[in-house]
Amino acid sequence: MAVRPIIKFPDPLLRAVADPVALFDSDLRNLAGDLIDTIHAAPGIGITAPHIGILKRLVVIQVPPAAKPSIYVNPSIVEASTETIRHTEGSVSMPGVTEDVERHARVRVRYQDLEEEQFEDAEGLLAVCHQHEIDQLDGLFWTQRLSRLKRERVTKRYAKLTRAS
């Protein structure tokens, strides 16, 4: 497997909708392995194929960070609680900046692993990760969940960081 370059904000690929995965083959397994290697190198707890420029509905989440990474193919939220939580979020495509985002406290996710359909009930941080990464697959970058003022502040902080490096 390999560590792949991560697309950085504001690349338009981060706002593109990912295509469903139709072919479950060795290329998909290799891509999943590359995402695992890339998220470990980033570092982070979640990554999608669009983060590395491949518009496929493939996600890797590793929560807690010491756990085995989980692979989600074609994930979708089929149920969400009305209760919400706020959690600090960021992105491997916008390293160095974070902000609190409000999300559903619990979700039920339908997905496929590398072989068959699965369902997963998630709450807390894992629920936040699912929502964050599925938003990314739908072309919704995490900053779009912020108020305009907070989004502008985050974007300015990131621009300042990238100029400094």
Residue 123 appears among annotated catalytic residues = no
Q: Catalytic one among 89, 116, 133, 152?
A: 133
Contact status, residue 111 vs residue 122, Cβ threshold 8 Å: no
Cβ count within 10 A of residue 54: 17
The amino acid at 148:
R
Quote the DSSP letter at residue 20.
P
CA distance 66 to 74: 24
Q: Write out the catalytic residue numbers.
A: 133
